[in-house]
Structure 1
Amino acid sequence: MSRIVYLNGEWLPEAEAKVSVFDRGYLFSDAIYEVTCVLDGKLLDYDGHSARLKRSTGAIGIKMPVDDETLLSLHRQIAEKNEMTEGLIYLQVSRGNPGDRDFMFTDDMTPTFFMFTQKKNVIETKTGKNGITVASVEDLRWGRCDIKTTQLLYPSLAKMEAHEKGADDAWLVRDGLVTEQSSATAYIVTKDDVVITRPLSHEILPGITRASALVIAEKNGIKVEERAFSVDEVKAAKEAFYTSASNFVTPVTAIDGHPIGDGKPGALSLKLRDLYIEDRRANAI
């Protein structure tokens, strides 16, 4: 069955959805995106994702083409039209099509608004149970990583470099300190069970799963410290994990071929994964 997508006010079979080659999202990566998880046919962490979408579009001056009520309705409709009970909803808003290629743009452009679904298992996953390995890769991204733009070339290249090194993903490093994973938030767990993650700044994306996971951790007596950490600290850590909308809390078992802890998914990481799923599932809309 062909997916039904949403494009500029229309529901279309995916093969019929067309965007101009002059769209600034295509020519300049002048676009913002969000990914919201669907579980049991409901939206997880939706308020956080919708708020970040508005923050990101506002940061680069793109006008949101729909209001809050319509945005929520579209998320629910696209899941229903595609009979999706578990998976992801991808949303992208570009500045639109000016009719030709030009670095300059005007304030009155009509945004291109696009949504599609991806059916996938998000609960019963091999990575959630067994964890992943990572390789350290230099962070060469632009200076506003806190804005969720579609400028994903370098994270993609970093992930490919990590694969060439025999790892599953990349942990990006700037000035000797880990910033984040290629498309997720990075954490370590100290010997005394303190969760460490980098504080929010222009250097990392304010992860929605990150925000929820930290609140859930503290509610359940897990100590959290927000500070930067080095690759050497990762190697010396008791555990490591990452968070993202599509992978929740997932253990990391090795970095640069060096096992973290005993090289197996850590007990605290797996506990926090279960706590996150239970809490977010109960609060899904």
Structure 2
Amino acid sequence: MPYAICYLNGEFQPLAEARISPLDRGFLFADSVYEVLPVFDGRMFRFREHFDRLARSLREIRIESPHTHEEWLALLEELIRRNGGGTMYVYVQVTRGMEFGRNHTFPAGAKPSVFALASQLPTLTPELRATGLTAITVEDFRWGRCDIKSTALLANVLAKQQAADAGAHEAIFIRGDDVLEGSSTSIFVIRNGVVATPANSNRILPGTTRDVGLELATGVMPVEVRSIRLAELQAADEVWISAATRDVVPITRIDSKPVGTGKPGPYWQKLEAAFADLRKRLEGTPAL
């Protein structure tokens, strides 16, 4: 079994044997937060930014972080090593812990639970690289604190399944006339050579990979961080989505209608090359 070793509450152990209490608040209430970050040739990408975001999510739900950045780094590097190194992604979840009962209020003295696993990093197939991905739009029905990377993802799961049922890869949340983000991705809209993405707020997750995309796009084209209207999405020349396990990938059909030419565009091709160059430049450098 590949990626067979996980970390749970101080121990590296076989993933198939890992167990948590049914009284853990992550299980009962989704009272927990998480992070996902890619690993290229054994090196975690944007480690500091991901764990700055984890620390922020923990503060927002009033859980004290169980580890410093340095401790997280050591823990995950060991997890990567035990799973063979190379290219993968790692998932980290911190819950408020457990108590003997089920109470909505925070339990006094609960010790946070920490879980981490490694898994295969998805790749964009040659076919999808040539054709791009597809998406549908859905009305946003999530809670009001999407800026917290919470494990309470039922609305995202339902939206993603709605996309799958429609034969699409992603669902793009729309609230009123505002384009927000995908069910598990950030979004970019390109029109007349300008790339735009929504500003951070409590309605979207601040995307670490989105920030990389913005940094790289700034050297190629004008960048705007602002509200995006549905009509702009529908009239876009190119649309991209980004996620830690995907980099930035093109969306070429939305609600069964082509985006631009209906094929991955030239700006995305430039950005993809810039991502590859960045990863190469980071090879062998410290993750933190």
TM-score range, shorter chain: over 0.9
Query: Could you say which residue in structure 2 is the equivalent of 1:151?
Result: 152
Distance 1:106 1:240 in 2: 45
Asked if structure 2 preserves the Cα contact closer than 8 Å seen for 1:190 and 1:238, the reply is yes
Q: Which amino acid aligns with 2:165?
A: E
Q: Which amino acid aligns with 1:201?
A: S
Query: Could you say which residue in structure 1 is the equivalent of 2:22?
Result: 21
Query: Could you say which residue in structure 1 is the equivalent of 2:84?
Result: 83
Asked if structure 1 preserves the Cα contact closer than 8 Å seen for 2:31 and 2:95, the reply is yes
Distance 1:175 1:7 in 2: 42
Question: How far is 1:33 from its partner?
Answer: 0.3
Question: Equivalent residues in 2 for 1:16-95 (5 A)?
Answer: 16-95=17-96
More displaced, 80-89 or 275-284? 275-284
Is 1:10 aligned to 2:8, yes or no?
no
Is 1:206 aligned to 2:221, yes or no?
no
What whole-Å deviation, never above 9, does each CA across 1:168-198 have from its counterpart, x for those lacking one? 210000012111000110111002x100110
Deviation beyond 6 Å, 4+ runs, structure 1: none
Is the alpha carbon distance of 1:202 and 1:125 closer, same or farther for their aligned partners in structure 2, counting shifts above 3 Å?
farther
Distance 2:101 2:280 in 1: 45
Q: Which amino acid aligns with 1:181?
A: G
Distance 1:122 1:53 in 2: 25
Query: Could you say which residue in structure 2 is the equivalent of 1:171?
Result: 172
Question: How far is 1:87 from its partner?
Answer: 1.6
Q: Which amino acid aligns with 1:269?
A: W
Distance 1:122 1:107 in 2: 44
Asked if structure 1 preserves the Cα contact closer than 8 Å seen for 2:122 and 2:245, the reply is no
Report the 3-state secondary structure (helix = DSSP H, G, I; strand = E; otherwise coil) of the residue aligned with 1:57: helix
Distance 2:32 2:126 in 1: 30
What whole-Å deviation, never above 9, does each CA across 1:67-101 have from its counterpart, x for those lacking one? 22110011111111000311210000000011211
Is the alpha carbon distance of 1:108 and 1:127 closer, same or farther for their aligned partners in structure 2, counting shifts above 3 Å?
farther
Asked if structure 2 preserves the Cα contact closer than 8 Å seen for 1:45 and 1:280, the reply is no
Is the alpha carbon distance of 1:84 and 1:147 closer, same or farther for their aligned partners in structure 2, counting shifts above 3 Å?
same
Query: Could you say which residue in structure 2 is the equivalent of 1:283?
Result: 282
Distance 2:269 2:29 in 1: 40
Distance 2:98 2:69 in 1: 24
Query: Could you say which residue in structure 1 is the equivalent of 2:119?
Result: 118
Question: How far is 1:281 from its partner?
Answer: 4.1
Q: Which amino acid aligns with 2:206?
A: P
What whole-Å deviation, never above 9, does each CA across 1:107-155 have from its counterpart, x for those lacking one? 5210000000002344766544532110000111111100000011101
What stretches of structure 2 of length at least 5 have no aligned partner? none
What whole-Å deviation, never above 9, does each CA across 1:5-63 have from its counterpart, x for those lacking one? 00000010112211000000000000000001011111111110011010101110111
Distance 1:177 1:276 in 2: 28
Distance 1:255 1:102 in 2: 43
Report the 3-state secondary structure (helix = DSSP H, G, I; strand = E; otherwise coil) of the residue aligned with 2:58: helix
Distance 1:247 1:264 in 2: 18
Is 1:251 aligned to 2:269, yes or no?
no
Query: Could you say which residue in structure 2 is the equivalent of 1:194?
Result: 194
Asked if structure 2 preserves the Cα contact closer than 8 Å seen for 1:35 and 1:91, the reply is yes
Asked if structure 1 preserves the Cα contact closer than 8 Å seen for 2:238 and 2:259, the reply is yes
Q: Which amino acid aligns with 2:105?
A: M
What stretches of structure 1 of length at least 5 have no aligned partner? none
Is the alpha carbon distance of 1:154 and 1:78 closer, same or farther for their aligned partners in structure 2, counting shifts above 3 Å?
same
Distance 1:83 1:125 in 2: 26
Distance 1:100 1:69 in 2: 34
Asked if structure 2 preserves the Cα contact closer than 8 Å seen for 1:127 and 1:250, the reply is no
Asked if structure 2 preserves the Cα contact closer than 8 Å seen for 1:44 and 1:281, the reply is no
What TM-score do you get using the length of structure 2 for normalisation? 0.94
